[in-house]
Structure 1
Amino acid sequence: MNKLNAAAFIIAGIIFSKGQVGIGTATPDTSTNLHVAPTNISNQYKGTLLGTMSTTNRDSISQPATGLMIYNTTDNCLQINNGTPSAPRWECLSEEPDLPFGTMTFGRYKPIYPGITASTISIPPPQYSPTNTQLYGAYPANGNFAYNDLFRIDVGRRTGDTYSTVLYNVSGERITFNYNSNAYHNPIVGSNISLYDTQGRFIDGDNITYYTEAQNCYVTVTSPAKWAGRKFLIGVNIFKEDVSNAIATGGNGTGKENQSMLTYIFEFK
């Protein structure tokens, strides 16, 4: 090949044509920089495999470009960085139709009563740590709690028959947000709430939650600027996985070994 400005040339099956790249096709579509044909030279249908990696591998990528795509083998989904190189926000591509939510994360923990930890949670909540014995999350054998790139839910025993749910900042930076909660025992509204990294706040302002309660809170991030305007629906629900007897207020009724907690974080589009 003596002339690099030839109309088209082929290297190892990759066709370069007029500044475009075609794989398996000599005529890349004029609207593309890269055009991958669905078949190979033997006319066999093939797919396109993006970089496959775990969440840990993904998080080791330095300054990932906005729009960078990978296949996450931890979450088993195709992910795209909808954030920036300095503040990546990895989101799974969903098959769902036009829903009001973007990312949705869930966690299930069982059993939730009696308290998994013998320690009672402190006031204010302890700093977040996956090994903190005041938090149920220190016992991963029982399940997990919902989390995303900014927030994590965890739970600790408040008294023998009550628990407290904590919303933690796990973003690595200080976050300020507004929120309002809809809880049976004590609905509250909070404005300009600031949490440093790994600092938490009780979702229900009275700190004590009975095992018949559900808690939901609507969160709007106000700072830092790169996350301002992000909105979340965050909540916890207790349920029983059988139909024998209802959950006792303190959670210590018949069938308590079948009581589970479902936690979730929905981000609005």
Structure 2
Amino acid sequence: MIKNITLVMLISCSLTAINAQVGIGTTEPDPSSELHIESNDSGLLIPRLTTTQRDAILSPANGLLIFNTDTDEIQINTNTTITPIWEAFTLTTTTTSTPGQSVKYSNTDISTNINNNTAINLPVCGVEEWNDNTTLYNVDVTSNSITINETGRYRVIVNASIIVANNGPQRANPEIYIALDDVQVGTVSSHGYMRRAGGHNEASVNFTEVIEITTGQALSLKVLRVGNVGVVNLRAASTTNLYIEKIL
């Protein structure tokens, strides 16, 4: 008799455990759930299968869930076990941009002296050539800066055409570099001295950088004097330009 009572109690406990809700990371699982997981430092990792491995599952249940490593997507069987149909979840991206989107500006200013002891922003944001994503690239034409609104890796191409007037300084040599929030990043580029002799009044500064940019950082081109004192200008309208492209 005692054995029978013990057996009944064991079966009862087993059934209770089977029917009970499961809470992981919580002692109070939601009443509507069979499995309730709580965490603030990790996620849920579901089975990861190739397409071949997925198709080898015997009689996959309707609603069976996997992550397909060949297509990098979560898939669910929306049909029967006999003729499964694997459909991908439609996910809403948190990004507002895609690689390849770019912005390009050219100068209209040909009067600002760019040969100063203190660095100024190169006056390049005069004319918008194009802007593929105005949410990603927020241009301030007054400060000649472009705020990047998504973290990523960006290619920056700079072409600057400069000139010294006939009565300007000899051996002028402005340098240009990229700045994020007014802090230099990457290389410093210059043409070398413009001698203002034998018609050598003009020069070009050209360089390309790939840099990491964090959401909200403002990109500008800084220019300052490293040669002799005197006025140096951008050569002509649309001869200086700034190109930025998101690559990753």
Identify the structure with the greater helix proportion.
Answer: 2
With normalisation by structure 1, the TM-score equals 0.27
Q: Which has the higher contact order (CA 8 A, sep 6+)?
A: 2
